[in-house]
Amino acid sequence: MDSGEATNSQQDPMLGRTVSQYRVVRKIAQGGMGAIYEATHLESGIRAAVKVLLPELSSRADAVSRFFTEAKATSMLEHPALVKIFEHGKSPDGEAFIVMEYIDGESLRQAQDKTYFGGSALLLLHQMASGLAVAHGKRIIHRDLKPDNIMLVSDPSAPAKRRVKILDFGIAKMLPDGSAKEAANAATRTGTLIGTPMYMSPEQCRASAPPDEKTDVYSLGIILYEMLYGEPPFTSESAGELFALQMFADPPRLKQRVPAIPDQLDELVHRLLAKQPATRPSMVELATALESITSTGLEDGAAQDRPSVASSRARSNQGEEIGSTSGIVRAQLPNNPRRADHGERVAATSPKKGGLVLVILSATFLLVVIAVLLILRNRQPVAPPPVVTNGIQPPPPSAAMPDAGTNAGAGPSTTLPASPPPSTATDPAANGKHSKSGKSGKASHKAVKTGAGNKLQVDLWK
C-alpha cells in the first residue's frame, strides 16, 4: 500500500476493506443514509458498487429495513434501464451493505449542466418509462424519481447513444399485493412526507393517502418538462411553497415556453402533470404515447441553448423581473425567468439597474401627476367679491333674478316690471346689508366630490 492509499485509509476506514467478496477501492459519493464505493471482486476482478449504510443508522432496525427495501425491490426487476443488485447483507462489524452493478457514467443532473437534450429527450424518457413499467408490473413504485437518481451511460447501440439506469429505490414502496410483505411494512406510512419537493406529486405532498404508480408518472412529467425547457414547471427556495405549487397551481403549458414542440407532445406533458392521479396515463400508456411522437421539433445542444436560458436573458435585458415576487406568482407567469440550482434551490435573475431606475422614475412621475389632478379636482371655487361704486350697488341683470342676499337669508329683494328697463337705487343701508351677505355667498358654490375620482388604483407592474 503506497502513501496515498494509507492517507485515504486514515480518512475513510472503508477504503481497502473487504465487503463480502469485494475489496473497496475508492469512494464514489456520500448521501444522507450512506456512502457508495467502487469495489472489485476478489477472484474475477469485476467492478461493482458497494452501498454502505452509515454506522449510526446500521444500529436502527427501521433504517436497516428501509435500506434493504432497495435491494429487495430492485433484485425482483430485470430491465436494461434498472440497476442490477448482486447481493445484500451485514458485515461482521454490523454494517448494512448492498452490492450492485457498477455504472460508469454521470447522472442526468450532471449531464444537464453541460448538455441540452431537446432532440433526444423522448428517447431517454422512453427508456425510463419502459423500465418503470416493469417495476409497476411487480407492484413496486419508486417515489423519488429525479435527475440525480437517473444515470446516463455512453452506449453507441442505444437509440440516443446513451443508456439510462435508474438508481436509488431506497424509498420504493411495494404495494399491498406485492410479493414481499415485509417490505410493505417498512414502507412509509400515511402522514409522512418522503421525496424531493420539486419532483413530488400532489398526493405525495398531501400525504393523506398512500401514493400509487401514478406518482412516478407525475415525476417523469416534471423530468420531461425540465429536459425540454431547461427548468421544472415549479421552482422555489421554500419547500412549503413547492408543496403548495404542486398541490394547487396549474403548471404553465410547455408550448407557451417552447413553441417549437408539437401539440401532441404539449398535451401529453399536460396530462402527465394532472393534479388528479386518475387523469394521468399509466406508465405503459406513457411508453406507448412516446413511441407515437416522432420528434420534439428541437435539437440537442449545449446547456446555454435551453429555452429557459434564452427566456431569462431576454426578460433580464428588458428589466421586467421583480426579484421579490413570490414563487406562486412566478409559477403563474409562463415566461418568468428562473434558474434552478441542482433541482433544490432557485435564484431569480436580477433586473438591469437602468431598467429598474426607469421604472421607479416613471412610477414617481405618475404618482405626482395623479396627486395634482386630485388636488385640482377637489379645490373649492371662491366667489368673486361684490363690486361697489361710490357706495351704490349696480342693479341686477334681470328683474326676475333675486339678489345674493335672498339666497343667503340677508333680506327681501324687489321685483320690477319688465318694461321699461328697470332702474333701481339701493340705499346705503341696503348696500351694506348686501355686502355682508357676500361672505355667505360661498355656500352656493359648495364643491361636490365624486367617489370614482377620489380613489385611484394603479398597477405599476402591469
Tell me the residue length of the chain: 462
Percent pLDDT > 70 in the chain is 63
The CATH T-level fold of domain 1-102 is Phosphorylase Kinase; domain 1 (3.30.200)
Q: What is the pLDDT of residue 87?
A: 92
> Does 23 or 62 have the greater pLDDT score?
23
| Residue 434 neighbours by CB under 8 Å, 6+ apart | 386, 393, 403, 404, 405, 410, 411, 426
SS3 call for 295 = coil
Each residue's pLDDT tens digit, 17-30: 999 999 999 999 88
Each residue's pLDDT tens digit, 111-157: 999 999 999 999 999 999 999 999 999 988 998 999 999 999 999 99
Rounded Cα distance between 80 and 419, Å, is 116
- Residue 291: other Cβ atoms inside 10 A: 12
| Residue 94 neighbours by CB under 8 Å, 6+ apart | 58, 59
Mean pLDDT, residues 351-373: 65
Percent pLDDT > 90 in the chain is 46
**How large is the angle between the packed helices 263-272 and 214-229, nearest 10 degrees?**
140
Q: What is the pLDDT of residue 210?
A: 80
Q: Is 144 a catalytic residue?
A: yes
User: In one letter, which amino acid is 230?
Assistant: G
Judge contact between 117 and 124, C-beta under 8 A: yes
pLDDT of 221 over the 80 cut: yes
Which of 69-83, 111-125, 215-229, 341-355 is the least confident region?
Answer: 341-355
Q: Supply the DSSP symbol for 278.
A: G
Mean pLDDT, residues 157-163: 91
Q: What is the pLDDT of residue 449?
A: 43
**End-to-end alpha carbon distance in the chain:** 69
Taking domain 105-347, whether its CATH number is 1.10.3720.10 is answered by no
| Fold equal for 1-102 and 105-347 | no
pLDDT of 363 over the 80 cut: no
Burial (Cβ within 10 Å: 0-12, 13-18, ≥19) of residue 341: exposed
Grid cell, residue 24, equals 473497496
In the chain, where the domains are located: 1-102, 105-347
pLDDT band at 70 (very low <50, low <70, confident <90, very high): confident
Q: What is the pLDDT of residue 267?
A: 98
Q: What is the pLDDT of residue 357?
A: 53
Q: What is the pLDDT of residue 396?
A: 54
Given 93, 113, 144, 168, which residue is catalytic? 144
| Residue 261 neighbours by CB under 8 Å, 6+ apart | 228, 254, 255, 296, 297, 298
Rounded Cα distance between 228 and 124, Å, is 12
